[in-house]
Structure 1
Amino acid sequence: MENKRLLTLTLGGLSIGTTEFVMMGMLPEVARDFSISIPEAGHFIAAYALGVVIGAPLFAIIGSKYPPKKLLLILMAIFTLFNGLTALSTGHTMMVITRLMSGLPHGAFFGVGSVVAAKLAAKGKEAAAMSIMFAGLTVANIVMVPLGTYIGLHFSWRYVFGMIALLGLLTVIFIAKVLPALPANTSGSIDKELGIFKRPVVWIMILITAIGTGGLFAWISYIAPMLTSITHFKETAVPYVMIVAGLGMFIGNILGGKLADKLAPANALLIALMAVGSSLLLDYFFAANQTLTLVGTFLTGASSFALIAPIQILMIRIASEAEILGASATQAAFNIGNAIGAFAGGLPIAAGFGYSSPILIGVLMVLIGIGLTMILIQMQQRQQVCAV
């Protein structure tokens, strides 16, 4: 029964995952429509990510007294409205604004959804339950992102965002009909919730998420031009390569949830980060080889999404008295990584180093994430020693 209820959150993840990742595959078409360069079109990716960063803590704090179901309905209504307006954007400025506003509900939705999933899960299966919700992101990359890329290439990218708005509306209906009405947290206070940010371990988690996951976004933000200019795939093949990435994400998300339930979540996180760094190196050194690029694309998608469940369960446990804010903060941090990756990845392209150069930026970000995770593990070990 719990899994059926969690599928409602999966649908929300599908909607959000589509709007977050479909822009990468359609970047050349959007840039062409607005008569701007590809790095400039990358600003739309960064604007969405900024919206997540702003909205995640904002909605988590404002909505902390609301029942989770009501808050999820509000968030998806906002999501639906502004994705619809994205489809109607008339220029660069309106596009930036609508992408920013579309991103506002993202982090809080996954933050609230993570807490709901953990509460509905059986003991010891919390990370696996969260991975069911985040499976929506992976299905988005298998089905919706390639479909959207195809529609954007052959028809118009505007139809894609209209389709996303319809998915958002469907999610609102399903949340209202299916999701159980869990009680609101009435014992907390804004001061108490914000107090979690006084802990160094919380900031370490935020930095790991923001920097460590940036490797994915430095790579995937510019994957379409890399595939066509370096790997020499035809433009029409890009949607199918995105399916390969999505399949990797789907499998990696499931494995990450199981790994975080079996191992200490921090150890699971370290293993996943090392896998991301290794797969990115494969992407870089074999960017001209079509077969190995497909292998690297699958492995990078898998290892990157194996990070999600360990990060979420770690933060929920660390911020136990402010679960929604903590879980939302990691979603904000994911999208700081999105913004940093998209922006920093565009710099070497603008400097003339080619479309594979963002991958090296990604490797550097992952290495920093690995170092920070090692610090986190040491901090946890010291806390255990002090507790004995």
Structure 2
Amino acid sequence: MNPSTESRGAAKWALLSLAIGSFGIGMTEFVVMGLLPNIADELLPTLWARSPEDALSQAGWLISLYALGVVVGAPTIAGFVARFPRHRVMIGLALALTVFNALTVFLPTFELVGASRFLAGLPHGAYFGIGALVAADVMGPGNRAKGVAFILTGLTVANVVGVPLGTFLGQLWGWRVAFAVVALVFALATVCIILFVPKHPGSPGRTMREELGVFRIPQVWFTLGVGAIGFGGFFAVYSYIAPLVTEVAGSPEWVVPIVLVLMGLGMTAGNLVGGHLADIDLRRTLLFGLVAMAVVFALLAVLAFWIVTLALLVLVVGFVSSVLSPTIQTRLMDVAGDNQSIAAAMNHSALNIGNSLGAFLGGAVIAAGWGFTAPSWTGAALAIAGLVIALLSYRVEARKPVPAAA
């Protein structure tokens, strides 16, 4: 069956099925950040009673372990499954996400929950990478980018609706309820993919060795560095947004989901604007975006003591950071040559290296006693480091043409 001949209604159902999984990924990746105090209280009770700061810092490892799973799984799975039918691959990935998130609901100890978070991260990058190829083919020539954008909309909508709702439910009935909802979302996505995503052949002759040729391109490494380090600043801030609201601004716990809604709204708008700006001038969007991110993080560190300014700045943080997301993705695709599928997956590896790095460094500065605004300063420093890498990348590119992948 030629996906480009699918009826408009069938194509929409296929895209919606994939977007449901994207929504689930957005929830499982980000809901933990608003529930860190609740998780630390239950899984690390002794440490929490002695030092909430140390308990939060250790609980931040759950964020890092998920991100590590994405980093490991994205290139490995995307490269290995390239030769298999893509609709079957998507079914397998959605099913794995269902099972691994269900494990988080039931496992009793911090160590086991950490293991489940690592497993849940493994299918993340491959789901987006392979899903983007399926979506583009379902929509057919002339509408490929629209299909990819539709899937990514599930991720941004999760930050507007899913994450705040999950945070609210987790605070009300326990953090495990939030992950039970996530598992149900993935179960629904699995069923929908089985029913509505058309058959889609893979690349039977494609080998892992050919896919890994992308790593022989220097500009790919520069771009991954921008994503991992520069975008890591966002995660240094986002990972500890809950204590920033409750401890620094002095607001009650129920305000956290509201702030997360504002973050999600900013991210949704930033994703759309970023795609438009990157099409006009990718280089300028990337460089000015990193500068803007550093400035906004510094302002957040200074003005977070008042909930009104904190809320407004969180909205801007979400916007500026998400302007960079499609920009980095496009830059990576531009320099990846023929290795588009693994490059699409590797973008999520880079961003989740940033997730892990940002969460770790944010937790480290809190544990060092520098206060809950310290992650914002850390985020600003990471954004500046990303800017330096981007400038170096363009300088090298100007001196030497980008080589084609072998």
After TM superposition, is the score higher than 0.5?
A: yes
Aligned to 2:22: 13
Q: Distance in 1 between matches of 2:397 and 2:132?
A: 22
Contact 1:349-1:355 at 8 Å conserved across structures = yes
Give the deviation of 1:343 after TM superposition: 0.4
Whether 1:31 and 2:20 are equivalent positions in the alignment is no
Q: Distance in 2 between matches of 1:67 and 1:289?
A: 53
Give the deviation of 1:25 after TM superposition: 0.4
Q: Distance in 2 between matches of 1:386 and 1:161?
A: 44
Q: Partner amino acid for 1:271?
A: F
Deviations, residues 53-105 of structure 1 (Å, cap 9, x unaligned): 11111101111111221111111111100100100010011101111101110
Contact 1:115-1:327 at 8 Å conserved across structures = no
Q: Distance in 2 between matches of 1:274 and 1:125?
A: 33
Give the deviation of 1:180 after TM superposition: 3.0
- Structure 1 counterpart of 2:335, from 288, 293, 318: 318
| Residues 238-253 of structure 1: pairs in structure 2 closer than 5 A | 238-253=256-271
Contact 1:131-1:253 at 8 Å conserved across structures = no
Q: Distance in 2 between matches of 1:180 and 1:268?
A: 36
Whether 1:111 and 2:129 are equivalent positions in the alignment is yes
Give the alignment's TM-score, normalised by structure 1.
0.93
- Structure 2 counterpart of 1:275, from 264, 277, 292: 292
Q: Distance in 2 between matches of 1:329 and 1:29?
A: 32
Whether 1:100 and 2:109 are equivalent positions in the alignment is no
Aligned length: 386
Aligned to 2:187: 169
Give the alignment's TM-score, normalised by structure 2.
0.89
Deviations, residues 221-255 of structure 1 (Å, cap 9, x unaligned): 11101111111111111111111111111111111
Give the deviation of 1:179 after TM superposition: 2.2
| Residues 106-255 of structure 1: pairs in structure 2 closer than 5 A | 106-120=124-138, 129-255=147-273
Contact 1:114-1:312 at 8 Å conserved across structures = no
> Identity over the aligned pairs, expressed in percent?
36
Measured at CA, do residues 304 and 164 of structure 1 come closer, stay the same or move farther in structure 2, by a change above 3 Å?
Answer: same
**CA RMSD in angstroms, aligned pairs only:** 2.1
Whether 1:342 and 2:351 are equivalent positions in the alignment is no
Contact 1:127-1:257 at 8 Å conserved across structures = no
- Structure 2 counterpart of 1:58, from 72, 76, 100: 76
Q: Distance in 2 between matches of 1:179 and 1:303?
A: 33
Whether 1:329 and 2:338 are equivalent positions in the alignment is no
SS in 2 for 1:352: coil
SS in 2 for 1:235: coil
Deviations, residues 121-177 of structure 1 (Å, cap 9, x unaligned): 677765554332222121111111111111111111111111111100111112222
Q: Distance in 2 between matches of 1:244 and 1:338?
A: 20
Measured at CA, do residues 224 and 130 of structure 1 come closer, stay the same or move farther in structure 2, by a change above 3 Å?
Answer: same
Q: Distance in 2 between matches of 1:272 and 1:124?
A: 29
Q: Distance in 1 between matches of 2:59 and 2:253?
A: 18
Q: Partner amino acid for 1:20?
A: E
Unaligned runs of 5+ residues in structure 2 are 1-7, 48-54
Deviations, residues 294-347 of structure 1 (Å, cap 9, x unaligned): 111001011111222222233233224222211111111111100000000111
Q: Distance in 1 between matches of 2:269 and 2:56?
A: 30
Contact 2:217-2:336 at 8 Å conserved across structures = no
Contact 2:69-2:122 at 8 Å conserved across structures = yes
| Residues 277-292 of structure 1: pairs in structure 2 closer than 5 A | 277-292=294-309
